[in-house]
Amino acid sequence: MNTLRTAMLLAAMTALFMGVGFLIGGSGGMMIALVIAAGMNLFSYWNADKMVLSMHHAVEVDERNAPEYFSIVRGLAQRAGLPMPKVYLIDNDQPNAFATGRNPQNAAVAATTGLLRRLSHEEVAAVMAHELAHVQHRDTLTMTIVATLAGAISMLGNFAFFFGGNRDNNNPFGFIGVLVAMIVAPFAAMIVQMAVSRTREYSADRRGAEICGNPLWLASALDKIARGAERIANPDAERNPATAHLFIINPLSGERMDNLFSTHPATENRIAALQAMAREMGGGREAAPSQSGPWGAAAAPQARGEREAPKAGPWGRSPTGPKGPWS
């Protein structure tokens, strides 16, 4: 189904490119758009993940410069039966995270410094488990291609404004066609983002909770991330809004509602689903500790008889964290 969905999205994007090209330059513009779309499809398959990581200035880290963060991801990947993904850090105070890559063998996960600072060890583990669930479900190829090509469609709309509707007869619709291209292209980019069904978030939430071992850890993390995203701007995401659907919580300002045009389900609905899952699983455990990171000294691990998280930050002195199901 994921392969079919990706093929359908690529076909839709190609048809959209051709349609806008026709509105701008007639049959000649349509053929040029077809060539561009074919090149973009091929390029996106191999390089879209690199482009997205570059857009957000993500820096690859390892067990030497981010020992605890890297250790969490490694333990979770082993628990999920996945190859170890590349691990990236984004210098951004907004708590958020995303996954990318064309397949599990070429996957990458990225978290912001704000996420590592503001969430507990358990909550970070739950968030990264959610991202690994996207990798396991092979959502990342579709998500990343959509991010890249939706941005390209918006650029095509801008191209129509500056270069469309010239005085020659290549454009059969004249300035009306250019106006349609300018209006339709950005709107179509938004529709394509929504074509990546919001149900994938619920599915990744559920699988992520299974991987990390406690749905309430992810519920607590989602609440913190949503509140942080409302208060803290993400300039890179604002400059590249076509990548918003990649993140675990929408990073854009003014996009918090679970409405027809939202790229994410309402956080309250996701938390309620996770709480229901916790009850199904036996539900007597407490949620992740409420205080912020880095890996905050929590009463919850101690109550469970586990070791307290080290006081060092996510790239701090000790590569070992509290022993949990991700270890």
**What string of pLDDT tens digits covers the 327 residues of the chain?**
656 766 777 677 777 777 777 776 677 777 877 787 777 777 777 887 898 999 999 999 999 999 999 999 999 999 999 999 999 999 999 999 999 998 999 999 999 999 999 999 999 999 999 999 999 998 888 777 776 666 666 676 666 666 555 545 455 555 666 676 667 666 766 666 665 666 789 999 999 999 999 999 999 999 999 999 999 999 999 998 878 888 999 998 755 444 545 678 889 999 999 999 999 988 545 554 555 555 544 433 333 334 333 333 443 433 334 344 444
C-alpha neighbours within 13 Å on the C-beta side of residue 141: 23
301 preceded by cis ω (within 30°)? no
For residues 228 and 245, what is the distance between their CA atoms, to the nearest angstrom?
Answer: 17
Q: What is residue 325's predicted lDDT score, i.e. its pLDDT?
A: 42
Binding site for Zn(2+), by residue number, is 130, 134, 201
Binding residues, by number, are 130, 134, 201
Q: What is the pLDDT, as a whole number, of residue 15?
A: 78
- 3-state DSSP percent of the chain in helix, strand and coil, to 5: 60, 5, 35
For the chain, give every domain's residue range: 1-327
The catalytic residue positions are 131
- As a whole number of angstroms, the distance between CA 324 and CA 216 comes to 14
The pLDDT score that the predictor gives to residue 139 is 87
pLDDT of residue 4: 73
Euclidean distance between CA atoms 272 and 240, whole angstroms: 30
287 and 294 in contact (C-beta within 8 Å)? no
Q: Tell me how far apart the alpha carbons of residues 83 and 127 are, in angstroms, rounded to a whole number.
A: 18
Q: pTM to 2 decimals?
A: 0.76
* CA of residue 11 relative to chain centroid, distance: 22
Q: What angle do CA 8, 157, 19 make, to 5 degrees?
A: 45
Give the contacts of 93 (CB within 8 A, at least 6 positions apart). 112, 113, 114, 117, 232
The pLDDT of residue 100: 93
Q: Are strands 97-100 and 58-61 parallel, antiparallel or unpaired?
A: unpaired
Under a CB-based contact definition with an 8 Å cutoff, are residues 142 and 100 in contact?
Answer: no
